[in-house]
Amino acid sequence: MSWYAGYTKCNHERVVHKILHDKGINTFLPEIIVPSRRKNRKILIKRPLFRNYLFIELDELRENWMRVFRTPGLARICGNGRPTPIPDDDINSIKIFVSSDRNLYPLPFLHIGARVQVMSGPLTGAIGILVKEDRKKRRLSVSVELMGQSVVVSLFDDEVKPF
């Protein structure tokens, strides 16, 4: 039995996980608890560690593969031309991280000088350059050009994405 990464339609990770589980196929959907801003308050929500992905344990029997491929919401099994197994050590490492009591904050790879796009707030859609990073406070300073001037804005790390 080997683990494979399944790519799902947008926000279908839990649906595919449940359908495959009901079919008797072993799956692993790593989830984390993250803060989310709703109106004027912050709440904690559970969301998948890897958006649009879950892990599926399969053997070499063709009939099991067909049951997986016919799952609504599952777009494909990842690989180069054909499904590529994920090493058990990688899956075990993910399980250890998820089961730890530490807060996990997955972020896109960003570095000082990278171009970023603001994803929320009054500057949604603005493009700027990352000038400073405070990982402890999860804050980023982004230089955005507004009306011919460069303005440095302090944002939370989940409010930007690489551009």
Summarised one tens digit per residue, pLDDT across range 78-102 is 988 888 899 999 999 888 888 876 6
CATH 3.30.70.940 spans which residues of the chain? 2-99
Taken as a whole, the chain contains a residue count of 163
Q: How far apart (Å, rounded) are the C-alpha atoms in residues 19 and 149?
A: 53
Give the architecture (CATH level 2) of 115-162.
Roll (2.30)
Cβ–Cβ under 8 Å, residues 49 and 30: yes
**3-state SS class at 157:** helix
Q: How far apart (Å, rounded) are the C-alpha atoms in residues 139 and 155?
A: 6
pLDDT tens sequence across 137-159: 778 888 888 767 788 888 887 78
* Percentage of residues of the chain with pLDDT beyond 90: 28
Cβ–Cβ under 8 Å, residues 113 and 139: no
Q: How far apart (Å, rounded) are the C-alpha atoms in residues 6 and 48?
A: 13
pTM of the model: 0.65
Structure tokens at 55: 């892990």
CATH 2.30.30.30 spans which residues of the chain? 115-162
Indicate the helix (H) or strand (E) that contains 129: strand 127-134
Per-residue pLDDT band at 111 (split at 50, 70, 90): confident
Residue-level pLDDT at 106: 60
Would you identify the CATH topology of the domain 2-99? Answer: Alpha-Beta Plaits (3.30.70)
Residue-level pLDDT at 96: 86
